[in-house]
A and B are shown apart, each in its own frame.
Chain A
Amino acid sequence: MTAVIDFQSVTRRDGKLVRLDALDLQVHEGEVLALLGHNGAGKTTTMHLILGLLSPSEGRVAVLGGAPDGAHAETLRRRLGYLPENVSFYEQLSGREVLDYFARLKRVDRRQVEELLDQVGLGAAAHRRVKTYSKGMRQRLGLAQALLGDPRLLLLDEPTTGLDPAATRDFYDTVRGLRERGCTVLLSSHVLPGVEPYIDRALILGGGKRLALGSLDDLRQQAALPLSVRARGRGAEAELANQLARWDDPRIEARAVNGHEVALTVPPDAKLTVLRRLTDTPGIEDIELLPPTLEHLYTHFSAGLSPAQRGDAE
């Protein structure tokens, strides 16, 4: 299977500043990839390279089978949807007019405009000027714009900033629907807990370098971060805490949380040992297992960066 996006040791420099440093990346059809990283880590640069807005200083970029900054751009751009960060559309136009304008420019059947407005929940507000839209509505209009012409590749830069939790969920449901239709989705986000359930793989960037790439399971395995286990039971605090205070494995740490709960930090390979003992411990009513979240993984992988590399420059 050929990759929809293919980066071969791509480097991008602006003067002396290295925006992206020898990045290798293959994204396959129907995949949802999250781009994670600090400000200035190279997320936006990566997207701009895919869009052909920038050309690589070294290396090779291929998107849907061609270089996005060359003659291939024209065909590519009709099969591509992009939602930039912080876009404010033409304030004096209505939502429908904005979408209609973009549909004409993309040479898309304009019947799609109404469908998309309904799909993102702007049907009732379509005649209103964008000036009166809330941040969330603008973001949804942006998404509708990106979805024009049934794109095969969708690039979403910080798509959920400004969306309330319900709108965020709706948004990711849309993304899931697109993926089922074979659309490849690349999204960057700061809001880590939100994206977790919806992505196939994550690319963690830092200082222009690839720090980690893989599915959540892969990343968990690579990081080998401890999980946390919470055991809740009846009985006095001291009793439960005492019972669980000592472990043969020195890596396991126990800590009483409150009257009837103990939190354990457990390395992945000791998980079953701990669970067995917990189930055998009398008085325990509930066991909660919390694998490391994307946020933990992200912190783990970007921990090695110096503050300068983390670069709050942008």
Chain B
Amino acid sequence: MNAILTIAGKEFRDGLRNRWVLAIALVLAFLAVGIAAFGAAASGGLGFTSLATTIVSLATLAVFLIPLIALLLAYDAVVGEQEAGTLLLLLTYPISRTQLLLGKFLGHGLILAAATALGFGVAGAVIAVGAEGVALAELATGMGLLIGSSILLGWVFIAFAYLISVWVSEKARAAGLALVVWFLFVLVFDLGLLALLVSVEQGGDWLPWLLLLNPTECFRLINLAGFEAARSYTGLTSIAEGGAFRPTVVTAILVAWILVPLGLALRRFRHRSA
């Protein structure tokens, strides 16, 4: 346990020092405030529209950014140390490979969590102060849910990044694969699902279940569930309505999306040669 905390502490301090935390928080806060402030631009207006619109927009922003940030943050976790030669050294220390990877996960997870909470938290505060007629309780719940689910989404992609990082032996290849993963889950999956939706003429009751095959869709489901008004803006996820898609269930599935790749990464890391 001690070793895990030591490794996590180092990773987190690295994150503070090379300004990952600051950079992520700034980008998220800046874009989130922008979305909130110019939310009505599409309809020709200026200023804060409704909470539902804002949350939907922020969730869409998070779906694009959070996985990318998580993958960039963590893709070189193992392969980077391997190239630097420090991995070989760490493996001769009295720590297990599981401890090493879990420590890194904890560290990277904390970096992402801190940055996300800070970024979206600042945005929430700006909205609360700047926008007129916002129900503060509703805002707090919405932003809290957004922050919490964003963190989970980030952890999913950190786990993916580790899976890549223990599998390849070159940093450049890991970076390439990380981008492929992002592209598949964030862009291609939606297009594919849309094509299916259009081409399936009857039946298609099973289609909504496919959403659970993509952690980013799970993330959307969680955030939109709370907002009746948001339904009209949700696009694809509107096909998922009903009991099985309760936020708690979907959250559990999102957590599984963290555990499975992380477990596979651990397995691979433990059994590969140095």
Contact = CB atoms under 8 A, between A and B. Distances in A.
A and B co-occur in one complex: yes
Interface of A: 48, 51-54, 73-75, 77-78, 80, 82, 84-90, 92-93, 101-102, 104-107, 145
A-B pairs, top 9 by smallest CB distance, nearest first, are: A87-B85, A53-B274, A77-B94, A104-B6, A82-B92, A78-B94, A51-B92, A105-B93, A84-B88
Query: Is the interface on chain B under 10, 10 to 19, 20 to 34, or 35 or more residues?
Result: 20 to 34
Contacts, number: 61
Contact of A53 (B14, B18, B88): B88
User: Which among B3, B94, B95 has the greatest number of chain A C-beta atoms within 10 A?
Assistant: B94
B17 A77 contact: no
A107 B18 contact: no
Nearest to B14: A92
User: Which among B2, B14, B88, B90 has the greatest number of chain A C-beta atoms within 10 A?
Assistant: B88
A105 B86 contact: no
A295 to B, nearest CB: 28
A145 B89 contact: yes
B137 interface: no
Contacts of A102: 89, 93
Contact of A54 (B7, B10, B17, B273): B273
A84 B94 contact: no
Contact of B2 (A54, A77, A107): A107
Interface of B: 2-3, 6-7, 10, 14, 17-18, 84-86, 88-95, 273-274
B85 A48 contact: no
A78 to B, nearest CB: 5
Contacts of B95: 105
A87 B3 contact: no
30 contacts: A53-B88, A53-B91, A53-B273, A73-B94, A74-B94, A82-B89, A82-B92, A84-B89, A85-B85, A86-B85, A87-B85, A87-B86, A88-B84, A88-B85, A88-B86, A89-B84, A89-B86, A90-B14, A90-B86, A92-B17, A92-B18, A101-B6, A101-B10, A102-B89, A104-B6, A105-B3, A105-B90, A106-B94, A107-B2, A107-B94
B12 to A, nearest CB: 13
B92 A105 contact: no
B274 A48 contact: yes
B6 A106 contact: no
A87 B92 contact: no
A102 B6 CA distance: 9
Contacts of A105: 3, 6-7, 90, 93-95
Contact of B85 (A80, A84, A107): A84
A198 to B, nearest CB: 23
Contacts of B84: 87-90
Nearest to B274: A53
B235 to A, nearest CB: 42
Contacts of A51: 91-92
Contacts of A85: 85
A88 B18 CA distance: 18
B43 to A, nearest CB: 47
A112 B274 CA distance: 29
A39 B90 CA distance: 24
Contacts of B3: 105
Given A52-B92, A90-B84, A93-B14, 15 more contacts: A48-B274, A53-B88, A73-B94, A77-B92, A77-B93, A78-B94, A80-B92, A87-B85, A87-B89, A90-B86, A101-B6, A102-B93, A104-B6, A105-B95, A106-B94
B89 to A, nearest CB: 6
A86 B17 CA distance: 25
A305 to B, nearest CB: 27
Contacts of A104: 2, 6
Nearest to A53: B274
Contacts of B88: 53, 84, 87
Contacts of B91: 51, 53
A52 B7 CA distance: 22
A50 to B, nearest CB: 10
Nearest to A51: B92
B23 to A, nearest CB: 15
Contacts of A90: 14, 84, 86
A61 to B, nearest CB: 15
Contacts of A93: 14
Nearest to A129: B17
A101 B3 CA distance: 10
Contacts of A92: 14, 17-18
Contacts of B17: 92
Contacts of B89: 82, 84, 87, 102, 145
A54 B274 contact: yes
Contacts of B86: 87-90
A123 B218 CA distance: 53
Contacts of A52: 92
Nearest to A52: B92
A166 B22 CA distance: 44
B174 to A, nearest CB: 18
Contacts of B7: 105
A102 B86 CA distance: 11
A1 to B, nearest CB: 25
Contacts of A75: 94
Contacts of A101: 6, 10
